[in-house]
Amino acid sequence: MDPSPPVVKCSGLVRSFGHQVVLDGIDLTVPRGTIVGLVGPSGCGKTTLIRILLAIREPTGGDVEVLGQRPMDASPAQRARIGYLPQLPSLFPNLSLWNNLRFAAALYGVRRRRRRRRLHQALEFVDLDGDRSKLLREASGGMQRRLALAAALVHDPELIVLDEPTAGIDPILRERFWTSFRSLRDNGRTLVVSTQYVGEAADCDLVAVMCAGRIVAFDTPDGLRRQAFGGDLIDVRPERGWLTREDVEKLAAEPFVRSVNRTAYGARLVVEDATIATAPLLSHLQEREIGAVAIDQVTPDYDEVFVEILRTSDAAQCEVPA
């Protein structure tokens, strides 16, 4: 990660609509050259936060800086350092893919002498250069979404803000999008990506879990897993197929174990670090003549992680599945 000043910095950010608080004290730092995901249920404030970063909305309270300045104070040239892919379509069905993109380039102030080259580069990036003459209304939904991404990139922005870019598209195209996002990140761009697909957290460098207008967790994908469960998870399957209450109590008393829960096949342990805990755990089982058929580190999926974070957070208004 780049040690230079953050691309986005929010401190105590608040946004209200009348008596309704939509953002409630958001603190967020986005380092340069990273993909930062905003993950949360519909209505949690992701889109409002994005609109404030883009100067579409003004905050009610707190501070926000994007690329070193307040968004509302940015000039058109400074705002052109940002690319934006909105949730809803904003292109023209009766224009060709090329002319749609040319219009977007003109809006972003791409100079005429370099515009043609940038159009080809953007279309090639999303694999649409061969379809540039096709009318948008004749293009598939996936092609239209890829063109929208090209429109957000046509002016070669430093910061790319993507509001639920993979909503409603098939898994193959979703993976293509994330491959593109990683390529942009690897070439020095910074991306802020909102999504309701919790599994996409694994593709981000940092993830902000949002709920009820607050960020209830902000960490790396692996850090979120550890935060959700209090450490790493290990499943133990003993030779005799079960553990007594005394076995469980003795396991729980070990310094490397944070908690133990019996399962149908043995026990699930929470440990501080699975790589360090495996050897002493095996020794413990051998000393007590329990033995083990298997000791496996468990990697919970992000649906589990997300639900657990919301359950253990202090966001009382969060709706958590039963």
pLDDT, tens digit, 9 for 90 and up, residues 108-123: 989 888 899 999 999 9
Record the tokens describing residue 117, joined without a space.
């080259």
170-228 pLDDT, tens digit per residue, is 899 999 999 999 999 999 999 999 998 888 999 999 999 999 999 999 999 999 988 98
Give yes or no: residues 124 and 273 share one domain. Answer: no
- Strand 159-163 and strand 20-30: the pairing is unpaired
Confidence class for position 316, pLDDT limits 50, 70, 90 = very low
Pick the last residue of a domain from 169, 196, 225: 225
65-81 pLDDT, tens digit per residue, is 999 999 999 988 889 99
Looking at residue 273, what is its pLDDT? 87
Q: Are 57 and 94 in contact (CB under 8 A)?
A: no
- DSSP H or E stretch at residue 20: strand 20-30
More confident residue, 242 or 98: 98
Give yes or no: residues 145 and 279 share one domain. Answer: no
Give yes or no: residues 106 and 236 share one domain. Answer: no
Give yes or no: residues 249 and 102 share one domain. Answer: no
| 2 within some domain | no
Range 102-110 average pLDDT: 92
What angle is formed at CA 291 by the lines to CA 228 and CA 277, rounded to 5 degrees?
A: 35
Looking at residue 242, what is its pLDDT? 73
More confident residue, 161 or 169: 161
Over 80: is that where the pLDDT of 128 sits? Answer: yes
Mean confidence (pLDDT) of the chain: 89
Give yes or no: residues 30 and 118 share one domain. Answer: yes
Could you give the maximum distance between any two Cα atoms of the chain, in Å? 78
Over 60: is that where the pLDDT of 315 sits? Answer: no
Give yes or no: residues 41 and 171 share one domain. Answer: yes
Instruction: Kindly report the CATH number assigned to the domain that includes residue 39.
Output: 3.40.50.300
- Strand 206-211 and strand 35-39: the pairing is parallel
- Alpha-carbon torsion angle 215, 216, 221, 223, nearest 10: 130
Give yes or no: residues 77 and 177 share one domain. Answer: yes
Task: Look up tokens 């607050």; give the residue.
Answer: 214
Q: What is the pTM of this model?
A: 0.86
| 141 within some domain | yes
- Burial group, residue 48, by CB count within 10 angstroms (0-12, 13-18, 19+): buried
Give yes or no: residues 253 and 206 share one domain. Answer: no
Q: Determine the Cα–Cα distance for residues 300 and 268; give it in Å rounded to an integer.
A: 12
Looking at residue 322, what is its pLDDT? 38
Q: Determine the Cα–Cα distance for residues 93 and 256; give it in Å rounded to an integer.
A: 61
Query: In the 8-state DSSP scheme, what is residue 91?
Result: S
253-303 pLDDT, tens digit per residue, is 989 899 998 888 888 899 988 888 888 888 888 887 776 667 888 888 888
| 306 within some domain | no
Task: Look up tokens 């098939």; give the residue.
Answer: 170
Q: What percent of the chain has pLDDT over 70?
A: 95
Q: How far is CA 87 from the centre of its chain?
A: 15
Confidence class for position 87, pLDDT limits 50, 70, 90 = confident
Looking at residue 314, what is its pLDDT? 59
Q: Which of 35-39, 97-101, 193-197 has the lowest mean pLDDT?
A: 193-197
Q: How many domains does the chain have?
A: 2
| 309 within some domain | no
Instruction: Kindly report the CATH number assigned to the domain that includes residue 261.
Output: 3.30.70
| 307 within some domain | no
Give yes or no: residues 207 and 73 share one domain. Answer: yes
| 268 within some domain | yes
Q: Are 132 and 166 in contact (CB under 8 A)?
A: no
Q: How many CB atoms lie within 10 A of CB 96?
A: 17
- Strand 232-237 and strand 294-298: the pairing is antiparallel
**Which one-letter amino acid corresponds to residue 141?**
G
Task: Look up tokens 């300045």; give the residue.
Answer: 69
- Beta bridge partners, 245, equal none
Q: Which domain holds residue 43?
A: 8-225
Give yes or no: residues 137 and 157 share one domain. Answer: yes
- DSSP H or E stretch at residue 274: helix 274-287
| 190 within some domain | yes
Give yes or no: residues 277 and 168 share one domain. Answer: no
Give yes or no: residues 34 and 182 share one domain. Answer: yes
Over 70: is that where the pLDDT of 309 sits? Answer: yes
| 100 within some domain | yes
